[in-house]
Structure 1
Amino acid sequence: MANIEPSIIFESRESIDYADNSVVSKTIVKKPAGNITLFAFDKDEGLAEHSSPHDALVQLLDGEAEITIGGKIFNLQSGQSIILPANIPHALKAKKKFKMLLTMIKS
């Protein structure tokens, strides 16, 4: 079940709030074919290295993130995007607090 009502205009960046010392997530769409999820990372928070069997698109909506993919570090700023390839380890860290939209398409 999604946390955002369908057929309602919303602003992604304003639809999730930061929380002190936390990573907050909010599901936009959850379907068998894939998920769309908003995330808000407080400064110095992150997700440990992991992998997924599916490609995922990360779109930074606010702030700055350090994203590691297969051992290579990428520094993203608001407005930038990157694809997390399937089966390649990746990790995320908030150098400054940031918000992102994650779109995962299952194959």
Structure 2
Amino acid sequence: MDQKIEKATVLRPNDVIDYADGGIVSKEFAHSQAGSITFFAFDEGQGLSEHSAPFDATVQVIDGEAEVRIDGVAHTVKAGEMIIMPANHPHALHAHQRFKMILTMIRG
């Protein structure tokens, strides 16, 4: 789905982004000096390798479930749940099954 995300309108996060077979899809919803909000859809078997970021980041799973590793500890985060990945701590994501998430990064 390639819809424009309009501000000041009600939206359903699961409808904003679609899965891609064998891939990861991302769509930035908002971006400013204060931070960003990005929608992601991961196909089964996909993920993001371990890295760290200089800011806290919140992962809110909106479909399926994700494995989120923080400092080497695996956390299963299911639809309707969220986890905060602390700044400067190594983290990674893996899709044992398809999942969608909203990533919110706050700078500062």
Task: Provide the TM-score with structure 1 as the length reference.
Answer: 0.95
The residue type equivalent to 1:105 in the other structure is I
- Report percent identity of matched pairs: 50
Preserved contact between residue 4 and residue 27 of structure 1 (Cα < 8 Å): no
The superposition leaves residues 47-74 of structure 1 with CA deviations (integer Å, 9 ceiling, x where unpaired) of: 0000000001100000011110001000
What SS does structure 2 have at the residue aligned with 1:37? Answer: strand
- Once the 2 structures are TM-superposed, how far is the Cα of residue 30 of structure 1 from its aligned partner? 0.5
| Aligned residue-pair number | 105
What SS does structure 2 have at the residue aligned with 1:14? Answer: helix
Displaced runs of 4+ in structure 1, greater than 6 A? none
- Once the 2 structures are TM-superposed, how far is the Cα of residue 8 of structure 1 from its aligned partner? 1.9
Equivalent in the alignment of 2:100? 99
CA distance in structure 2 between the aligned counterparts of 1:9 and 1:77, rounded to whole angstroms: 23
1:47 maps to 2:48: yes
* Structure 2 alignment gaps of length 5 or more: none
Equivalent in the alignment of 2:75? 74
